[in-house]
Structure 1
Amino acid sequence: MYDIIVAGAGHAGCEAALAAARLGHNTLLITTDLSAIARMSCNPAIGGVAKGQIAREIDALGGEMGKAIDATGIQFRMLNSSKGPAMHSPRAQADKSAYTAYMRKVIEKEPNLYLLQDAVTGVQVNEGSCTGAIVMSGRSIPCKALILACGTFLNGIIHIGLKHYPGGRTLAEPPVSGLTEQLVSMGFEAGRLKTGTPARIDARSVDYTKVTPQPGDTPPSPFSYNTTDLGERKQLNCYLTATTEETHRILEKGFDRSPLFTGKVQGTGPRYCPSIEDKIFRFKDKKSHHIFLEPEGYDTNEMYVNGLSTSLPEDIQIEAIHSIPGLENTIIIRPGYAIEYDYFYPSQIFSTMETKLVENLYFTGQINGTSGYEEAAAQGLLAGINASRKLQGKSKFTLGRSEAYIGVLIDDLITKETREPYRMFTSAAEHRIILRQDNADRRLLRHGNAVGLQNSAMLSYLEHKEEAITTIRSLLEQIRIRADQPELLQLFSRYGYSKPEGAQRCINLLKRPHISLNDILATSQDAFDRISAVSMEPDILKQVEIDCKYEGYIKREHLVAEKISRLEHHEIPKTFTYENVIGLSSEGKEKLQRHKPETIGQASRIMGVTPADISILMVKLGR
């Protein structure tokens, strides 16, 4: 018998299996294709707006995604670098084959982790608790906990024009059938979603004189706190072009053969990552849409056409691509397609990722209606941790909305009505000023150490870092720069400030717009000498600068988060029923009974539950 079985070796399944094995459990990872572990079936990239924050949080907790992209990245960029630090989001283009090879190597080296090439088609349940996984042959493999990370495989159908084929993730991979039907027969509610991917082209056939290069950052910023330096890595360019009015005219010719518009696709697609035909249909006033050409690796000519996701007929795709500047003679390696698949409404899981209906059964990743590698990996990590802790008789591990984007993600899934693929954005996090990518280690590394996934060396480094930040902050409060010092006068003149009156404390200078800590170190030799004796690590200096510049905002955000978090400590018993609570609105009663929130805080965020309902509930529970 295995302690934990994980079904599916995508990004969710890999993190779940690694976490479970590293926490001491005999773990089996089942996948239909051992050569496709952690496959990047869509865009071969990690990070992006809000997703980059999640990837860094996964790393701070002890997950593998950050290390994997650092080892296999071919271009690194910090998005939104012209905006405030809360909006900075790391993104890296990956060598997709190398990424898969890296993850398989890591998994095969893990002592407690074993692989099986098969498909889970059923769940064995005894007296309300999961006791095993049933594979395609009909064999039952006993386990103490089962984590389903099925991705887009459940009854997957691929659409290209009016043609459709069974497919789990690509045309070459079969779907999984039978599992949805069994779970529905047990009382789970399922739905149908759609996602898609663009055509891949031969990079040698692009006319680079007509496209705009987009180089990576120099020096590149790593994702993992274990990566000290990315070295002199060769970074590949991405390229920018755009659709034209002629492109739109060609695409519109295929609308009568579009599975999206003819009703062949029943599942709801992602609102924030629509297909190109959906963009043209919804935004008729737009004459052009950006297209990003992104290489898929060092040793391949395959290139990803980001922004051109489509399920239109292949002949229309080819003609449309050839109308885009720089792609007039492009060779198409494979066409774009849409994939429809089953998912389960995530209101049916607890914040631990365990299902409410069946004990020791966990749902994670796209089976919960999410979209994206990072969102999937974060759920997988939490599922692996919590399955392990439950078997060890330990308390659950969860994250609040003010602690991590991962906390926002999980809370949104279990309290909101997910009827379309969920994608994380910075706008979803009300505390984003304190949930930055630069401080993920300060927020979460201690949690990672406490659960057993971060080693003592990383914790020692964090303690050194915090001590250095405190010391440097204290020095900035002490050190003053004379008003008549030429370097200070030049600094004020550079940024358009009037002549200083009296000596200036460094801490006050740093709080002025535009003035950086590096400016202060260049202005005052005393500041440079005393601070450099503590640390000149860029990461530490950056934390000091952000803490000082945004001190007022950060303090206010922590106060707001503290007030809100009080509701999270009011737990609702699992056996509590809402039917006989006098005064609850009909809709509130229905939604509360369906979602079964774990705390008053969760209940307050369920759509349809009013403030009056919460007040009544708190009185009933004995506030």
Structure 2
Amino acid sequence: MYTEEHWNRFAETKDLTPQPPIPKRMHPNIKIHLRRKLYKQNLQKEIFSYPNLTIRAAAVDDLITKPGSTDNPATVCGGVVTSDGTVYHSKAVVLTAGTFLRAEINIGLQITPAGRIGDGPAVALAETIERAGFAMGRLRTGTPPRLDKRTIDFTKTSVWPGDDPPLAFSFMNERPWLKAEEQMPCHLSSIQGKEVVKIVKDTLHLNRHVKEELTGPRFCPSLESKSLRFGHLAHRVWLEPEGFDSDVIYPNGLSMTMPVEYQMKLLRLVPGLENVEIFRSGYGVFYDFIDPRELKPTLETRRMPNLFFAGQINGTTGYEEAAAQGIVAGINGAAKALSKPPITINRTEGYIGVLIDDLITNGASEPYRMFTARAEYRLTLRPDNADLRLTEKGVTVGCVGQARQDRFRKMKTDLERATELLSSVKLTGSAWKEKLHAGSISISSEEAKTAYKVLNHPDVSIKQLTAALRVDIPELYDLAQQPFARRSALKIQATATRDREGAKFEISEMRKDENALGYLTTMD
């Protein structure tokens, strides 16, 4: 067993052979400190410096409950009790228990109570939720082994570079600090189905995770599940680096729970991994979740006011799905504590709304994953217009800071001005062809078109259009200098105009139906 001193030395030296030494084949208890290091550093910097916010780390074992009001006699949540007996009173509680509720990890037939390797399960909290009367079920998920980059032959894989130009995750950042050529590439390999099927079938009697009659993730299944269902196919393996200064590789597509020696045997069938060594084996997790039909659209529980659930506890799988729920539950928990109106997002406004509506309406018979195909109006729910769709809603409830408000309003104004400017320029089709020097572009010669409508053409870019018109309209120079993300948003908006207009009526009708049902106005 490694002590905290070992973990600290491992984090400081980045030495992936920690002391005392153990067999090279596998280091089962290593905590990968370097994983997503940049994200962790920036997130902690933001949280630890946030005014009036105190951070405490402890296991929550119990909920504080108290009688409700005369108007609403239901028992309400008034705080939590940690495993060391500390009591925290609060006006709202948000539980994001992940895969820890009564969780068990298994590798082969070995079972270990844990939510993930190195962290114990939340047994007492699961019992508390069960005693409160919540409908609960059990799900399973898994994770792949972590590989040693130094033992991989990348010459046998294909290289997949990052976006060029790279796109920022936040609208507050228009130009990522990282250049396109400085991004770390992923590598793609594959594994043949027949070879996998033989190993999987030979080890079924040693694989509790596959044998158990529990529902696993259909859309990100284990390699064992994929091979049993699609044994005749080859399976892609994405080799994803964990960080700039890390030798850890995440083999996306190789989630597995068979005994370690068979995991090694299977891994070495993958081109490029013939001599691979692993830092930590793949493993499966069994855990409790609550029926999400117990929730309101705000993610507050119907059974116990002031208590909010978010993440895998609601039957979802995936980081993005958990983060989306955390945003809504966190905002509404704060709104509840401050006696402010809650926020809801319906399925015509964002993927978050689709996810929550699916959960609270249909429940979760399997770990739920969000896909564009689940949204009826996915052509209007795009990354480029997320700011336009949702920031005003955030401003209304007070969860958007002044700097972001200013940036949002400037972006909105710039986009409106650019649209107005391009809509004011109108030429015949033949004139457009002459200016664009593109005789192959299909533009009707008889019909005059605005520059905004010409931008709808897939072969016409913002730069090409502004270069053609810059002499006639000098104001277009500013448009050409806009950041790539801004120009891209304008191009996408122009391209999607026809689809957006067609969806407006349907969206309006859906919102009328939702209002009639009280979805947006009634939180009960």
- On whether the aligned pair clears a TM of 0.5, the verdict is yes
Gaps of 5+ in 2: 1-6, 9-33, 68-74
Question: Residue 567 of structure 1 contacts residue 599 of structure 1 at CA under 8 Å; is this kept in 2?
Answer: no
| 1:440 matched to 2:386 | yes
| 1:105 matched to 2:59 | no
Q: TM-score, normalised by structure 1?
A: 0.73
Displacement after TM superposition at 1:284 (Å) = 2.6
Displacement after TM superposition at 1:218 (Å) = 2.3
Question: Residue 521 of structure 1 contacts residue 527 of structure 1 at CA under 8 Å; is this kept in 2?
Answer: no
Equivalent in the alignment of 1:124:
64
Displacement after TM superposition at 1:441 (Å) = 0.7
Equivalent in the alignment of 2:153:
207
Equivalent in the alignment of 2:191:
243
Change (3 A) 1:528 1:239: farther
Please tell me the root mean square deviation across aligned C-alpha atoms, in Å: 2.6
Equivalent in the alignment of 1:180:
126
Equivalent in the alignment of 2:21:
none
Question: Residue 468 of structure 1 contacts residue 535 of structure 1 at CA under 8 Å; is this kept in 2?
Answer: no
Displacement after TM superposition at 1:290 (Å) = 0.3
Matches within 5 A, 1:33-48: none
| 1:521 matched to 2:461 | no
Equivalent in the alignment of 1:493:
439
Report the residue type matching 1:515 in the other structure: V
CA distance in 2, matches of 1:512, 1:132: 57
Equivalent in the alignment of 2:206:
257
Change (3 A) 1:602 1:144: closer
Equivalent in the alignment of 1:424:
370
Change (3 A) 1:490 1:106: closer
Displacement after TM superposition at 1:493 (Å) = 2.0
SS for the counterpart of 1:493 is coil
Question: Residue 153 of structure 1 contacts residue 167 of structure 1 at CA under 8 Å; is this kept in 2?
Answer: yes
Question: Residue 93 of structure 2 contacts residue 307 of structure 2 at CA under 8 Å; is this kept in 1?
Answer: yes
Equivalent in the alignment of 2:84:
137
Question: Residue 345 of structure 1 contacts residue 368 of structure 1 at CA under 8 Å; is this kept in 2?
Answer: yes
CA distance in 1, matches of 2:124, 2:232: 45
CA distance in 1, matches of 2:472, 2:350: 34
Change (3 A) 1:210 1:602: farther
Displacement after TM superposition at 1:113 (Å) = 1.8
CA distance in 1, matches of 2:401, 2:84: 40
CA distance in 1, matches of 2:318, 2:280: 21
SS for the counterpart of 2:115 is coil
Displacement after TM superposition at 1:599 (Å) = 6.4
Change (3 A) 1:357 1:524: same
Deviations, residues 466-509 of structure 1 (Å, cap 9, x unaligned): 333233223323323466659627644233x3783476542342
Deviations, residues 213-267 of structure 1 (Å, cap 9, x unaligned): 111122210001111322244311110000023344333321221213433xx43
Question: Residue 370 of structure 1 contacts residue 423 of structure 1 at CA under 8 Å; is this kept in 2?
Answer: yes
Deviations, residues 42-75 of structure 1 (Å, cap 9, x unaligned): xxxxxxxxxxxxxxxxxxxxxxxxxxxxxxxxxx
Equivalent in the alignment of 1:539:
485
Picking from 351, 357, 366, the partner of 1:405 is 351
Deviations, residues 141-199 of structure 1 (Å, cap 9, x unaligned): 22222111111111110011111111112x21111112222222221111101110001
| 1:338 matched to 2:284 | yes
CA distance in 2, matches of 1:132, 1:503: 66
Report the residue type matching 1:447 in the other structure: K
Picking from 447, 451, 475, the partner of 1:530 is 475
Question: Identity, % of aligned pairs?
Answer: 34
Question: Residue 105 of structure 2 contacts residue 111 of structure 2 at CA under 8 Å; is this kept in 1?
Answer: yes
Question: Residue 470 of structure 2 contacts residue 477 of structure 2 at CA under 8 Å; is this kept in 1?
Answer: no
Change (3 A) 1:509 1:271: same
Matches within 5 A, 1:22-41: none
| 1:390 matched to 2:336 | yes
Gaps of 5+ in 1: 1-34, 37-93, 573-597, 604-623
Equivalent in the alignment of 2:226:
279
Report the residue type matching 2:498 in the other structure: G
Change (3 A) 1:383 1:542: same
Equivalent in the alignment of 1:593:
none
The count of aligned residue pairs is 482
Q: TM-score, normalised by structure 2?
A: 0.86
Deviations, residues 448-473 of structure 1 (Å, cap 9, x unaligned): 22222322333233333333323322
| 1:375 matched to 2:321 | yes
Equivalent in the alignment of 1:114:
54
Change (3 A) 1:463 1:335: same
SS for the counterpart of 1:192 is strand
CA distance in 1, matches of 2:436, 2:520: 56
Matches within 5 A, 1:438-587: 438-481=384-427, 488=434, 491-495=437-441, 497=442, 500-501=445-446, 504-526=449-471, 529-533=474-478, 536-537=481-482, 538-570=484-516
CA distance in 2, matches of 1:535, 1:492: 19
Question: Residue 466 of structure 2 contacts residue 480 of structure 2 at CA under 8 Å; is this kept in 1?
Answer: no
Deviations, residues 580-606 of structure 1 (Å, cap 9, x unaligned): xxxxxxxxxxxxxxxxxx569999xxx
Deviations, residues 62-108 of structure 1 (Å, cap 9, x unaligned): xxxxxxxxxxxxxxxxxxxxxxxxxxxxxxxx952332333233222
Question: Residue 197 of structure 2 contacts residue 228 of structure 2 at CA under 8 Å; is this kept in 1?
Answer: no
CA distance in 2, matches of 1:272, 1:144: 37
Displacement after TM superposition at 1:527 (Å) = 5.7
